[in-house]
Every structure is written in C-alpha cells, then in structure tokens.
Amino acid sequence: MHSVLRPNYRRARALALEIEAARAHLDEARGDPSYSLDDIEDLKAELHHLERKFSLTGVTSEYDL
C-alpha cells in the first residue's frame, strides 16, 4: 500500500495564528519590565514548540497559506 502524505493546511493555518499571537506576546513581554527572564524564556520555548508543530504539518512556509 502506497500512501502520499499531503500538507495539512487546516492545522497549519491554526498554528500560524497561534505563532503570530505568541510572537506578539513575546515582543510585548520583552518590553515589559514586569516579565522575568524566566518568563521570556518560557515564551520563547512555547514559540519554538509551535514552530516545530507547524513544520510537521508539511506546509513549507506561513506564506503558503
């Protein structure tokens, strides 16, 4: 049996929105002195995790959506 894996555009679109929100939150946190370095590192890790999940959708770029 031969299966062809196709990009999951629906999942990629949802993740792209989450990534955009996470980037905005990280940018705000960097400019807000009430966030600790640990908080910022946690936000970076979450962003990295979302980007990794996006890469697993098979869509090559957010611009392909």
Virtual torsion, Cα 24, 25, 31, 34, nearest 10 deg: 170
What does the pLDDT look like over 5-35, one tens digit per residue?
Answer: 789 999 999 999 999 999 999 999 999 999 9
Between CA 18 and CA 16 the distance in angstroms is 5
pLDDT at 62 over 70: yes
pLDDT at 57 over 70: yes
